[in-house]
Chains A and B, each alone.
Chain A
Amino acid sequence: MGYSWNWGIFLQPTATGDGTYLGWMFYGFKVTIALSLSAWFIALVLGAVVGILRTVPNKWLSGFATAYVEVFRNIPLLVQLFLWYFVMPELLPEKLGDAFKQSNPIVQQFLSSMVCLALFTSARVAEQVRSGINSLPPGQKNAGLAMGFTLSQTYRYVLLPMAVRLIVPPLTSEFLNIFKNSAVCSTIGLLELAAQGRQLVDYTAQPYESFIAVTLAYLLINVVVMFGMRWVEEHVRVPGYIGGK
């Protein structure tokens, strides 16, 4: 094949003189983690609100929530990202848009990516929250209301404590997805893991080592998240349900 393997490349100083190539990889790894975790946090909060709204007995609120979910689910992630990065600053009031465009490019890329991933994922989280609430027997809500709870008390004390525990397993796969989806953000120039892998190919001409290392890094994230979530799942399982104790 005539390819000369050189795994030592990662320890060599970079062409731009800022540390080693391994340091570049590690920087990308940190960006991927920071981006995914912050977006995940926002997605959980927003997704919970929208998911609850989809189940409330008010046509306007549930209609709004349905529209929200449909919009974010039926436009490709890449298109959404470009809309946030290129279009949003133009549509904002001029002062705000200019302030955004004059800020540090890294901040611009990171903010756009975070908002995009968060809203994209929140629509998926909302669907899980909705199906969690709908999977509860209707008697639970009726019993709560019959006891004299208001609707919000019924949600707060009866429905949500159960629903939250039921949706942990499906949320695991959404959590894994957000790390994988963050790779899309390399297209607007954010130097996360996949982008660093590509840059390494350009600078070192060692494509196999670079791509294998990046792929392994994603596998590592995957394995850690899976074990972490398995631990959470075991602790929140509802006794008596399928998969429960």
Chain B
Amino acid sequence: MHDFDWSSIPNALPFLWDGMKISLEITLSAVVFGIVWGTLLALMRLSSVTPLSWFAAGYVNLFRAVPLVMVLLWFFLIVPHLLESIFGFPRGSDMRLSSAIAGFALFEAAYYSEIIRAGIQSVPKGQMAAASALGMTYGQAMRLVVLPQAFRNMVPLLLTQGIILFQDTSLVYVSALADFFGAAYKVGDRDGRLVELLLFAGAVYFVICFTASRIVRYYQNKLKTA
């Protein structure tokens, strides 16, 4: 049986917190960009312009068929080189954080767009018809009537997807970027206390995600009874 020694964790807390800040930074930026780009994709998918809806369908299906790890590897190993050769960035500049954010945002947008598309379709057709009858253009009706109602219903699903995204940020491990998990692994590896640090990381993720999903569920029930 293993002899536990948790003494290396207290000293490492500032370093772990720095990692947590990176995890949260990636999560927040990817959620914001993902929802904006996902909304545009959903609108394209539902639009009557065939090339737009084909593009959106192709994009969403492609990203949903490929593992996130693969997408991240593309963004860590290939896209930086591509940008270097196209825009003449200095070679070897550290683009890992921005690559990670871009990779997560583009990947999650495919999932967000499916949630948002279902949300838009769940708004009764009469709403759009009534808005048109009042003389609103398609854009106005979407912006002022359909989307606000759709988003209100979608908030719990969007938040749940955000929790999944937060868990997935641990995968930036493949680029050796020190997010919370990467930091925990580094400390454990350095001090020969991998077992303790991994258990600690698991516990921290569990507490955060469990609490967040409870809050989402509470909000969801409140929305239902309202």
Q: Is A80 within 8 A of B202, CB to CB? A: yes
In the complex, chain A residues 162-210 whose Cβ is within 8 Å of any chain B Cβ: 176, 179-184, 186-187, 194, 197-198, 201, 207-208
Least CB separation from A179: chain B residue: B67
| A42 smallest CB distance to B (angstroms) | 20
Q: Distance (Å) between the CB of B79 and the closest chain A CB?
A: 11
Q: Which residues of B contact A214 (CB under 8 A)?
A: 70
> Contact between A2 and B85 (Cβ–Cβ < 8 Å)?
yes
Q: How far is the CA of A65 from the CA of B37 in the complex (A)?
A: 38
Given contacts A76-B170, A78-B171, A211-B78, contact A197 B73 (CB under 8 A): yes
Known contacts A93-B1, A218-B66, A70 near B198 by CB under 8 Å? no
Q: Which residues of A contact B201 (CB under 8 A)?
A: 79
Once the chains bind, are A83 and B67 in contact (CB under 8 Å)? no
Contact across chains for B69 and A183 when beta carbons are under 8 A apart: yes
> B213 at the A/B interface (Cβ < 8 Å)?
yes
Complex alpha-carbon distance, A199 and B62, angstroms: 23
Given contacts A78-B171, A79-B198, contact A91 B2 (CB under 8 A): yes
Complex interface: chain A residues within 8 A of B194 (CB): 86-87
Whether A76 and B1, one on each chain, are in contact in the complex, defined by CB atoms closer than 8 angstroms, is no
- The interface on chain A, measured as residues whose beta carbon lies within 8 A of the other chain's beta carbons, has a size of 43
Contacts of A74 in B (CB 8 A): 167, 205-206, 209-210, 213
Cβ contacts under 8 Å, A183 to chain B: 67-70
Given contacts A93-B1, A219-B65, contact A76 B205 (CB under 8 A): yes
Whether A186 contacts B198 by the Cβ 8 Å rule is no
Report which of B66, B73, B170, B195 forms a contact with A78, defined as CB distance below 8 A.
B170
Whether, in the assembled complex, A71 has its beta carbon less than 8 Å from a beta carbon of chain B, the answer is: yes
Segment 178-226 of B: residues with Cβ below 8 Å from A:
181, 185, 194-195, 198-199, 201-202, 205-206, 209-210, 213
B174 beta carbon closer than 8 Å to chain A: yes
Q: Are B210 and A79 in contact (CB under 8 A)?
A: no
Partner of A186, one of B69, B168, B205: B69
Residue B6 lies at the interface, judged by CB distance under 8 Å to chain A: no
Interface membership of A1, Cβ < 8 A: yes
Q: Is B130 an interface residue (CB 8 A)?
A: no
Is A180's CB under 8 angstroms from B68's CB? Answer: yes
Contact of A79 among B68, B70, B170 (CB under 8 A): B170
State the CA gap A198–B70 with chains docked (Å).
10
Say whether B74 faces chain A, with CB atoms less than 8 Å apart.
yes
Chain A residues with CB under 8 Å of B73's CB are: 194, 197-198, 211
Please state if B67 and A218 are interface contacts (CB–CB under 8 Å). yes
Cβ of B86 < 8 Å from any Cβ of A?
yes
Interface SS majority for chain B: helix
B185 in contact with A82 (CB, 8 Å)? yes
Q: Is the Cβ of B198 less than 8 Å from the Cβ of A86? A: yes
Which residues of A (69-121) have their CB < 8 Å from a CB of B?
Answer: 70-71, 73-80, 82-83, 86-87, 90-91, 93-94
Contact B168 A76 (CB under 8 A): yes
Given that A186-B69, A218-B70 are contacting pairs, would A75 and B206 also be in contact in the complex, using a CB cutoff of 8 Å?
A: yes
Q: Within 8 Å CB of A87, what residues of B?
A: 194-195, 198-199
Question: How distant is the Cα of A81 from the Cα of B1 in the complex, in angstroms?
Answer: 20
Kindly provide the distance from the CB of B36 to the nearest chain A CB, expressed in whole angstroms.
25
User: In the complex, which of the residues B70, B86, B202 has the most CB atoms of chain A within 10 Å of its own CB atom?
Assistant: B70
Do A1 and B78 contact each other (CB < 8 Å), given the known contacts A74-B206, A83-B198, A194-B70?
no
A20 contacts B by Cβ under 8 Å: no
Given contacts A78-B170, A83-B198, A211-B78, 20 further A-B contacts (CB under 8 A): A1-B85, A70-B210, A76-B168, A76-B170, A78-B181, A79-B170, A79-B181, A83-B199, A83-B202, A86-B198, A90-B195, A91-B2, A181-B67, A183-B67, A198-B77, A211-B73, A218-B66, A218-B67, A222-B65, A223-B65
A-B contact pairs, 19 of them (CB 8 A): A1-B82, A1-B85, A73-B209, A75-B209, A79-B170, A87-B194, A179-B67, A180-B67, A183-B68, A183-B69, A187-B69, A187-B173, A187-B174, A207-B77, A211-B73, A211-B74, A214-B70, A218-B65, A223-B65
State the 8 A-B residue pairs at the shortest beta-carbon distance, nearest first.
Answer: A183-B67, A74-B209, A76-B167, A222-B65, A180-B67, A183-B69, A90-B2, A76-B170
